[in-house]
Chains A and B, each alone.
Chain A
Amino acid sequence: MKVLPKTLLAAVLAVLVAGCAGHKPEELLGSAVVTASIADISGNHAIFIATTRKRSDDPNKVFDGERSPLLSFARVNITVPKSHETGKIERKSRGKSDDPSKYFMASRATGYDSAAKFQSALNTDIAARGGRVMVFVHGYNTGFDDAVYRLTQIVHDSGYPGTPVLFSWASGASTTGYVYDKESAAAARDQLEATLRLLAQSGARRIDLVAHSMGTWVTMEALRQLAIEGNRNLGGKLGDVVLASPDIDVDVFKSQMQRYGKPDKPFIVLLSDDDRALRLSSMIAGSQPRVGDYKNAATDLTSYGVTVVDMSGAKAGDRFNHTKFADNPDLVTLLGKRLRQDDGYASDREVTDRIIQLNQQASPGAM
């Protein structure tokens, strides 16, 4: 977290001017300048972004749900209000003013017109933060704004010290767009791989991956093709791989893991058998289990080199139980601990012990 400037320009700049029309959903940037006292802001996070979304016609949305064949690069600064509660994303509701003392607010958006410029900005940030990067890959039915806010919340609540990078693929952000999203995810695989390679060349010494829902599919695909190329560890820089509520068919996941091979450091799979979102995916996929709500995961998946953390006993922030890793205050704190503690190349054994510990702490009693 950066130290906030003295007289905080928590001026929420509408970087690209908004029209006078009422706020549409999925807006990232506000339309009015509202200043807030530094005392009301608890954090200001610079989120680096690589995205396969198209630039939006609505400048406040920045990027929309349409696909672009090319990667775009950006950085967005988001402030978190003092009143923020761990696990929550305080978002402005329609018609309310853009008040950074109450809401997560974007204070600045910068676009980079080339990968080189993006990389140079990244390098500086990574070097300043000790050489660590976390890539977050969001899930299905997620707008660009949703993803930026979610990563901000994860970084904030987990206290992650490194550089946060959002990989945002072109989710159409509608619940009816399941197959559209799946195709967007497939179209984004090479770009996620390219982003990981770019980060590996950025001076980062360690790259952590946190993926959620359908984002775990894009992530597993990118890792799989890196493995096919013979570079599955990103030149030794791959850190933790956290797959939260994976929306991947169990058979497909097994085939991916088989191709990847047993990871040197087990991937961490967070799942919950009360996940209602995955129940739906599973139903439309022919009543086959998804990894994120697979009841036999602990016995059936660990042989592939993953550590399964069952979050079934933990409470979620909503009825879907699909985002517990981030919206349960204790779990997101534990995720942070996990990512901070193991800053080296621990043996499998140590990692496993720690995860089992984490698992125990996440049990119902602790919630």
Chain B
Amino acid sequence: MQGKTAFIVALALLVTGCAGRNTHDLLNKTAVEAPASAIAATHDIFVVTTRQKATKHPRQVFDGDRSLTSSFAEVEMTVPKVHKVGAIERARGSAPSDPAKDFSASRVTLYGDAGQFQKAVGADIARRGDRVLVFVHGFNNGFDDGVYRITQIAHDTGYKGTPVLFSWASAGKITGYVYDKESANAARDDLEATLKMLARTKAKSIDIVAHSMGTWVTMEALRQLAIEGNRDLDDKLGYVVLASPDIDVDVFKKQMMRYGKPDKPFAILLSGDDRALKLSGFISGDKPRVGDYGDAADLAQYGVVVADLTNTKGADRLNHAKFADNPMLVQLLGDQLKTPAALATGAPLPGQPIEQLGNGLGQAVGSVAQIIITTPFKVLSVATGGE
């Protein structure tokens, strides 16, 4: 396997675009059976996407090309018993997912139009209560990545409501930064329409969790809702959690100025050691991004609560997804999401009075990490177990 042969193999990988783990296949070629006892849970993920239906690699379901209209789907995902909080157990390379070991898609339903989808998602919301969580993924995410991440978040936070993935057309390539940004721009109206659609269901509280470049799409959608005079989604907007926002600080301030001070402060999770954002900051002229900005008080005055996660660990070297891949943080997020936003006190990472934040978790683990929380009114340092 030296020399010429290796070269040909490398070339083949380049040409087919399936290098290493990045096949972005969501579905298996053939079904892999697993005993029910090996499955921890099944999650129904509702999906609105501006991606093109994958025709070249149909098992991706949707790919990185843009569609001018939204598509609607539902993916049934299983989480294996062996799952560890914060991790996403995935099959390696082009190996099929084994539901006993890996997160696996067991069923994909495509809806013909927005009406059918609204009916289905509305029924699910009513069945589970009255809450819905919209997740907006970030840069360099395939369709599969977004589905896996929201499954892990729904699972690890124990969120009781209906999970809805808004999947915009990220190319899922590290070199596709500007392509992704344009895809994000093209998807703003679709996210807004999705939020409005959810507001027409029986949902009483629509929570939004956005990550990385997904925070840009989210802030844009909220901004234009504000311009229309409906910034609270008819009072149904719940928590807005912006994790590692890949937004230029100046631009974010302008967005917040246009939105106005939120009634319930948006939560911003940032980390000074975020290596992914260091890159964005660099290519945008060495200007800080919100997600690695050092001046929390400067942001807080716009009506946001800033949780500085610098002293907690990320699962990978990038430190760009701590909110979900740090086991303590994702459970903390779950704790906060538990109480509907409308019932929450004015606590910074809302849900519970700030002093109690992380108490239970902090006791569970030996090493204590600090989360520094800056609200429009005060700065607090909270000890958690999150290491």
Measuring CB to CB, which residues of chain A are less than 8 angstroms from any residue of chain B?
Answer: 67, 69, 172, 177-180, 182-184, 186-187, 189-190, 225, 228-229, 249, 251-252, 254-255, 258-259, 284-286, 288
Q: How far is the CA of A228 from the CA of B192 in the complex (A)?
A: 12
CB of A252 within 8 A of CB of B227, answer: no
B197 to chain A: which residues have CB within 8 Å? none
A-B pairs with beta carbons under 8 Å apart, 6 shown: A177-B285, A251-B183, A251-B186, A252-B185, A285-B179, A286-B178
CB of A251 within 8 A of CB of B228, answer: no
B263 to chain A: which residues have CB within 8 Å? none
CB of B68 within 8 A of CB of A255, answer: yes
CB of B251 within 8 A of CB of A288, answer: no
A184 to chain B: which residues have CB within 8 Å? 250
Whether, in the assembled complex, B8 has its beta carbon less than 8 Å from a beta carbon of chain A, the answer is no
CB of B251 within 8 A of CB of A183, answer: yes
B283 to chain A: which residues have CB within 8 Å? 179
CB of B68 within 8 A of CB of A69, answer: no
Given contacts A179-B178, A180-B284, 12 further A-B contacts (CB under 8 A): A67-B250, A69-B253, A180-B285, A182-B284, A228-B227, A229-B228, A249-B185, A251-B186, A258-B189, A259-B189, A285-B178, A286-B179
CB of A186 within 8 A of CB of B186, answer: no
Q: How far is the CA of A214 from the CA of B343 in the complex (A)?
A: 45
CB of B224 within 8 A of CB of A228, answer: yes
Measuring CB to CB, which residues of chain B are less than 8 angstroms from any residue of chain A?
Answer: 66, 68, 171, 176, 178-179, 181-183, 185-186, 188-189, 224, 227-228, 248, 250-251, 253-254, 257-258, 283-285, 287
A187 to chain B: which residues have CB within 8 Å? 248, 250-251, 254
Q: Tell me the minimal C-beta distance from B7 to chain A in angstroms.
A: 25
Question: Of A69, A229, A286, which is in contact with the most chain B CB atoms at under 10 Å from its CB?
Answer: A286
B181 to chain A: which residues have CB within 8 Å? 182, 285
CB of A179 within 8 A of CB of B224, answer: no
Question: Of B178, B253, B287, which is in contact with the most chain A CB atoms at under 10 Å from its CB?
Answer: B178
CB of A69 within 8 A of CB of B188, answer: no
Q: Tell me the minimal C-beta distance from B191 to chain A in angstroms.
A: 12
CB of A255 within 8 A of CB of B179, answer: no
Q: How far is the CA of A32 from the CA of B294 in the complex (A)?
A: 44
B66 to chain A: which residues have CB within 8 Å? 251
CB of A285 within 8 A of CB of B182, answer: yes
A179 to chain B: which residues have CB within 8 Å? 178, 283-285
Q: Tell me the minimal C-beta distance from A89 to chain B in angstroms.
A: 26
Q: Tell me the minimal C-beta distance from A113 to chain B in angstroms.
A: 21
- Chain A interface main SS type: helix
B185 to chain A: which residues have CB within 8 Å? 249, 252, 255
B258 to chain A: which residues have CB within 8 Å? 190
Q: How far is the CA of A284 from the CA of B188 in the complex (A)?
A: 21
Q: A228-B228, A258-B189, A259-B189 are in contact. Are A252 and B182 (CB under 8 A)?
A: yes
Return the contact of B254 from the options A69, A228, A255, A286 (Cβ within 8 A). A69
Q: Tell me the minimal C-beta distance from A345 to chain B in angstroms.
A: 27
Q: How far is the CA of A67 from the CA of B68 in the complex (A)?
A: 33
CB of B250 within 8 A of CB of A69, answer: yes
Q: A179-B178, A286-B179 are in contact. Are A190 and B254 (CB under 8 A)?
A: yes
Q: How far is the CA of A273 from the CA of B29 in the complex (A)?
A: 43
A69 to chain B: which residues have CB within 8 Å? 250, 253-254
Chain B's closest residue to A184 (CB) is: B250
CB of A284 within 8 A of CB of B250, answer: no
Chain B's closest residue to A249 (CB) is: B182
Chain B's closest residue to A181 (CB) is: B285
A186 to chain B: which residues have CB within 8 Å? 248, 251, 254
Q: How far is the CA of A80 from the CA of B248 in the complex (A)?
A: 39
A225 to chain B: which residues have CB within 8 Å? 224, 227
Which 4 pairs across A and B sit closest by C-beta, in order of nearness?
A: A286-B179, A180-B285, A249-B182, A183-B248
Return the contact of A286 from the options B176, B189, B284 (Cβ within 8 A). B176
Q: A228-B224, A285-B179 are in contact. Are A183 and B250 (CB under 8 A)?
A: yes
Return the contact of A254 from the options B68, B178, B257 (Cβ within 8 A). B68
Q: How far is the CA of A325 from the CA of B279 in the complex (A)?
A: 36
B171 to chain A: which residues have CB within 8 Å? 286
Q: A179-B284, A180-B287, A225-B224 are in contact. Are A255 and B250 (CB under 8 A)?
A: no
Q: How far is the CA of A180 from the CA of B253 in the complex (A)?
A: 16
Q: A69-B253, A183-B250, A286-B179 are in contact. Are A249 and B224 (CB under 8 A)?
A: no
CB of B250 within 8 A of CB of A229, answer: no
Q: How far is the CA of A177 from the CA of B179 in the complex (A)?
A: 17
CB of A284 within 8 A of CB of B178, answer: yes
Question: Of B171, B189, B257, which is in contact with the most chain A CB atoms at under 10 Å from its CB?
Answer: B189
Question: Of A179, A182, A288, which is in contact with the most chain B CB atoms at under 10 Å from its CB?
Answer: A179
A177 to chain B: which residues have CB within 8 Å? 285
A190 to chain B: which residues have CB within 8 Å? 254, 257-258
A180 to chain B: which residues have CB within 8 Å? 284-285, 287
Q: A183-B284, A288-B182 are in contact. Are A229 and B227 (CB under 8 A)?
A: yes
CB of B182 within 8 A of CB of A183, answer: no
Chain B's closest residue to A65 (CB) is: B285
Chain B's closest residue to A284 (CB) is: B178
Q: Tell me the minimal C-beta distance from B296 to chain A in angstroms.
A: 18
Q: A225-B224, A286-B171, A286-B176 are in contact. Are A251 and B182 (CB under 8 A)?
A: yes
